[in-house]
Amino acid sequence: MTSTVPAAVVGAARAFGPVPALVEPGGVRLTYEELFAEVRRVARALIAGGLRPGDRLALWAPNSAHWVLAALGASYAGVTLVPVNTRFTGVEALDIIHRSGARGLVVTDVFLGVDRLATLRAADGAGRLPGMVLRVPSQWDEFLAGGDAIAEAEADARAAAVTPDDLSDILFTSGTTGRSRGVMSAHRQSLAVATAWAGIAGLTPDDRYLVVNPFFHSFGLKAGILACLVSGATIVPQAVFDVPRTMALIAAEHITVLPGPPTLYTSLMDHPEAGRFDLSSLRLAVTGAATVPPALVERMRKELGADVLTAYGLTEAVVATMCRPGDDARVVAETCGRAAAGFEVRIAEPGGEVLLRGPNTMLGYLDDPAGTAAAIDADGWLHTGDIGRLDEHGYLTITDRLKDMYICGGFNVYPAEVERALARLPEVAESAVIGVPDPRLGEVGKAYVVCRSGRTVTEPEVIEFCRGRLAGYKVPRSVELRAELPHNASGKVLKYLLRAEAADG
């Protein structure tokens, strides 16, 4: 197995040559041979921009051909990739850029109506943006031209010098306290996960993979871009999930593989224009992140004509368990599959916490040895914070969360982070945030707020305050004002009572 990303790029060019590698409808269309040539051009341009081996490149942009080329080009130049969540505000993104020590930044011009570089500059009063800043797509051609002064041999030498144990990427994910943590992975780990996922999914050069999952997420990057790279499948990126656009892409590009949360598939099948598009090319749908009703699995198989698999993972392990082709609808719906990618899975007693151990467990958290030691015990077991059970065949079912995290539209939300934001609102004395069911997004936030004596605040004011400080998926969808919150003897808010009340109400 290829064990560095640069070697995988070279290997794909040799193995898959004329096979389509990257297709952006209305834009870039590259074979694997052409992808290699473009990746090398990007590496030369990054070298010309002053990035050295081991430097870090932050990438704040939506799914696109430019994202793929920038990411692979960074690896080819011996640079570590630091993806940044496109839902983040300028303040949140700047925090990641600074804490990662990024010396380069690739940032989209405008996305969802927002000039991202302008938001960074507005948030960066000290003027501490990285030395190399590239706006895409507006500066892309100029950027590539700057690399003409660097010989191909120099870029190739950089690529050859990358080792399997070198740091491939740092993916930031919120910890149990809500503060984001940089999860570090080596090249060998990122590629091993990608290879395992591609193998179970049966990816081949005949597949065309529509990647709606964000590239900044471990799944989009490793089970998306890298899985295609090692299997010869075609990467078809989509920046934002839009039902008619997605159906049109499936039909026009003959998409065969489409992962996503359950709501993605229900949105496709329930759309009034669904009958206008030929979706018969789909052969595989991979889902997770929420409970999947068995009826939905059967419906997907019948209406989309695709096999359906579920999986379980987290940024610290990416893909730990996965169903297998041929598993029946109930197994797919009610479990997350069995161990994959070399992982061992066991359930800790007492408590039922899911523990994982394997070669692809993260190297650790960036600049946080104490956090790393708390997450990975002396025997190498990663403590996931999820509660689950294993059946007699080794299939895992997640039953609860040890912490308060909930999943909104496929994105993890940590209430502590939202509560810290609410604490900055002068009128708020105390708050508690929980996830409540939502038919479209799976779960959304509900905030319970206690005002300071003599002060008042309205629901719209609380929500608007959060919008200016948090990514959209973290903003509570509803707010309930309370005179007090339920506490235990030590003063901790009893969130289970709030959840029960919300369920009853």
CA distances from 332 to 130, 341, 359, 441 (A): 45, 18, 26, 20
The pLDDT tens digits of the residues spanning 217-268 come to: 999 999 999 999 999 999 999 999 899 999 999 999 999 999 988 778 888 9
Which regions of the chain carry the CATH code 3.30.300.30? 408-504
Find all residues with CB under 8 Å of 110, minimum gap 6, and list them: 116
CA distances from 178 to 185, 196, 330, 418, 437 (A): 21, 30, 34, 8, 21
The pLDDT tens digits of the residues spanning 171-220 come to: 998 543 457 899 999 999 999 999 999 999 999 999 999 999 999 999 99
Q: What is the dihedral of CA 196, 201, 206, 207, to 10 degrees?
A: -110
Which regions of the chain carry the CATH code 3.40.50.12780? 1-179, 241-403
Contact present, 385 and 391 (Cβ < 8 Å): no
Find all residues with CB under 8 Å of 473, minimum gap 6, and list them: 87, 408, 409, 411, 413, 441
Rounded to 5°, angle at Cα 11 from 342 and 104 = 85
Q: Let me know if 490 is exposed, middle or buried by CB neighbors in 10 A (0-12, 13-18, 19+).
A: exposed
Q: Dmax of the chain from CA atoms?
A: 71
Task: List the alpha helices (DSSP H) in 262-376.
Answer: 262-270, 294-299, 329-334, 369-375
- Predicted local distance difference test score (pLDDT) of residue 177: 40
Contact present, 30 and 18 (Cβ < 8 Å): no
DSSP string, 396-455: EEEEEESS--EEETTEEE-HHHHHHHHHTSTTEEEEEEEEEEETTTEEEEEEEEEEPTT-
Phi then psi for 352, rounded to 5 degrees?
Answer: 80, 20
Where the chain has pLDDT below 70, the residues are 1, 125-127, 174-178, 289-293, 400-401, 488-492
Q: Identify the bridge partners of residue 179 per DSSP, sorted by sequence position.
A: none
Q: Tokens 């197995």 correspond to what residue?
A: 1
- Predicted local distance difference test score (pLDDT) of residue 127: 65
CA distances from 53 to 78, 118, 389 (A): 5, 29, 43
Q: Which CATH superfamily is domain 1-179 in?
A: ANL, N-terminal domain (3.40.50.12780)
Q: Identify the bridge partners of residue 210 per DSSP, sorted by sequence position.
A: 236
CATH code for the structural domain at 408-504: 3.30.300.30
Q: Global pTM?
A: 0.84
- The CATH number of domain 241-403 is 3.40.50.12780: yes
Helix axes of 65-76 and 32-48: crossing angle, nearest 10 degrees: 70
The pLDDT tens digits of the residues spanning 323-340 come to: 999 898 889 988 999 999
- Predicted local distance difference test score (pLDDT) of residue 322: 96
- Predicted local distance difference test score (pLDDT) of residue 464: 96
The DSSP letter of residue 293 is -
